[in-house]
Amino acid sequence: MSKGIAYYRFFLKGEAKYRINFISYLLSGFIQLMAILFIWKLVYANSASGVIEGLNYEEIILYTIISTIATQFMLLDNDFQVAGDIQEGNLSYELVRPVSYITKLFFQGLARSTTSILLVGIPAIIGVVAYISIHESFGVALSRCLLFIVIISFSVGLMFCVNLLFGYSAFYLNYSWGFLLFKGTFIQLLSGALFPLAMLPSPLREIFLKTPFQYMTYFPTMVFLGKLSTQEIMTNLVMEISWLIVFILLCLAFWRHAIKNITINGG
């Protein structure tokens, strides 16, 4: 753990150096958020009741903001790191280091997401808590916020494992970047980051809700909004932890298989 924390501090300092890149990311994220909010405004302007699948306009704004917060926790980028290390031949050096390669990847990804969480996630969480406190109570807002953080912690682990599995594709493909880009868009769709899964047609919604990807954005966001009962929260939390265990086992199995058949380009 001490070595992992040392890695975390090292990579966090590295993230702080590239300020222009980070500012550019913030600006692009802000423009994207404004575009989404504008689209929702148009959608709800043409709604007779002002409510779509149980969400009114104020709630869909909150959903968009909270899902953006959840996204900041998921900026691990370890899939591209794994693929790059394999295809550039760097993995051979990583395997002989005294620190686990997976541990290094985890803390490197955590450092990457920390800057986004501090500058975007935390201020947005404070704003959401303040809004909910005005309309309901501070106790309710705080309890939902804490539960959101607990759930999103498991979601980060789930995202890390999913990224690892997709990153391992570089063991079997000569060029995996396009595949990883497709994965990013695919998960955005299935996780509810683009829009609430509740707005999908019923058959398609049921399929999406049975995938592990909904636990990365949709589930924690709906908990923060207060749209799920205690029973639904507990059931989904158990399912999320179960999926996390399954993906951890899959990561271990694929790693052991791939490492025995590794061919490093340039290594």
Contacts (Cβ under 8 Å, ≥6 apart) of 88? 265, 266
Nearest to 68 by CA among 249, 235, 191: 191
Residue 175, amino acid: Y
Q: Is residue 173 part of a domain?
A: yes
Residue 153 has what pLDDT? 92
Q: Is residue 97 part of a domain?
A: yes
Which string of DSSP letters, residue by residue, matches 195-215? S-GGGS-HHHHHHHHTSGGGG
| pLDDT of 8 strictly over 50 | yes
Domain that holds residue 255: 2-260
Q: Is residue 62 part of a domain?
A: yes
- Mutual angle of helices 78-87 and 138-167, in 10-degree steps: 20
Residue 267 has what pLDDT? 45
Q: Is residue 265 part of a domain?
A: no
pTM: 0.85
Rounded average pLDDT over 174-182: 80
Share of the chain above pLDDT 70, in %: 87
Give 10's pLDDT tier (boundaries 50, 70, 90): low
Residue-wise pLDDT tens digits, 29-84: 677 778 788 888 888 888 777 787 778 888 898 999 899 889 888 888 888 888 88
Q: Is residue 266 part of a domain?
A: no
Q: Is residue 267 part of a domain?
A: no
